[in-house]
Amino acid sequence: MVRTHIEPKKGRTRSGILPLIVLSILSIASCNQSLTDRKAASQDLPSAKKTKIVTTFLPIYWFTKAVAGDAAEVEILVPPGTEVHEYQAKPENVRAIATANVLVKNGLGLEKFLEETVKNAQNPKLTEIDSSKGIKSIGAISPIVNTAKNEKDHDHEHEHTEGNPHIWLDPVLAKQQVTNIRDGLIAADPQNQATYVSNAAAYIQELDTLNRQFQQTLQKNPNCTFVTFHDAYPYLAQRYNLKQVAVVEIPEDQLSPADIQNVTNAVKKYQVKALLSEPGTDNKLLKNLSQDLKLNLQTLDSLENGDPDPQYYFKAMKANLQTLEAACK
């Protein structure tokens, strides 16, 4: 039997094939690792990070969120339902401002807690937007009624030193606030300019509609005089030819005997058509008082509490319009 001996071809030895296999495996592993690294890196790209905005209290949150939409992260410093006039900053407020890109406030001296809080946050890159820019403030367009000299049992020491700050309750001034917020966000975050312009325009259109509704409804009963337990409505009264008589500048949890006497004096002095309380006020006492004075008791909302949805502004303001319409008949 003849044995045929076949010589192996050059380069095809086992020792030559093995390095090729190893190189191929290493190449595939390297490629896979490279893809994984690229995917992880893409998730951490700075361009994907949204602008962080902090707002002071609910109406400013509504306006800012309406303009920003999903283009930025919007937070609120003062919890809804908390009295913003006397708010004391908390450590989480300092931390929020320290990591924020933008801070939006109402202005006109309302957020007194901000000065020290911003200073403590030590954020040199923070952009501040004052939504009251260009708005002429007013003081006491309607009188604040007081009783005898210096009632000491219930001292209201709050003063609006920069004018009355409740501009958000006037739909026309709210438009100016939204415009100021829009312009401030564009300056701070120009890459989202188109979104801010579009969102602001849509919200302003709704504010225009709301203004027309107030005009058409309230012009039926001009010069209506109403008593409130919070000096929050002078801009609203001025806009729609109403007269507000405020018993106290800023509401307390419960009314004092002095407040009750103030109401009685106001009703005697002015041709008052209605008493308007706020949600959370001692309504049982007011109800008895309104019955004694033969006046309707209605609820008027200063919009410092409610749903975080920006559309809630319109819901609450339309409810206020219905209240004023009923009160002024």
What is the predicted pLDDT for the residue at 9?
43
Q: How far is the C-alpha of 142 from the C-alpha of 295, rounded, in Å? A: 20
User: What's the confidence (pLDDT) of residue 160?
Assistant: 57
pLDDT score recorded for residue 221 = 87
Q: What is the pLDDT of residue 282?
A: 65
Which residues make Cβ contacts (< 8 Å) with residue 8, sequence separation at least 6? none
Query: Whole-angstrom Cα distance, residue 252 to residue 157?
Result: 11
Q: pLDDT per residue over 263-303, tens digit each?
A: 888 888 887 888 888 887 766 777 888 888 888 888 999 99
Helix axes 171-188, 58-68, angle to 10 degrees: 60
In this structure, the number of other CB atoms found within 10 A of the CB of residue 53 comes to 28
Q: Which pLDDT score is estimated for 155?
A: 39
Type of residue found at 230: H
pTM of this prediction exceeds 0.85: no
Q: What is the pLDDT along the chain (329 residues), one digit of tens a residue?
A: 444 444 444 444 444 544 444 444 444 444 455 444 544 443 444 446 899 999 999 999 999 999 999 999 999 999 999 989 889 999 999 999 999 999 999 999 999 999 999 999 999 999 999 999 999 999 754 555 554 443 433 334 445 567 899 999 999 999 999 999 999 999 999 999 999 999 999 999 999 999 999 999 999 988 888 888 888 999 999 999 999 887 766 666 567 777 778 888 888 888 788 888 888 776 677 788 888 888 888 899 999 999 999 999 999 999 999 999 998 88
Confidence (pLDDT) at 310: 98
Could you give the count of Cα atoms lying within 13 Å of 253 in the half-sphere of its Cβ?
A: 1
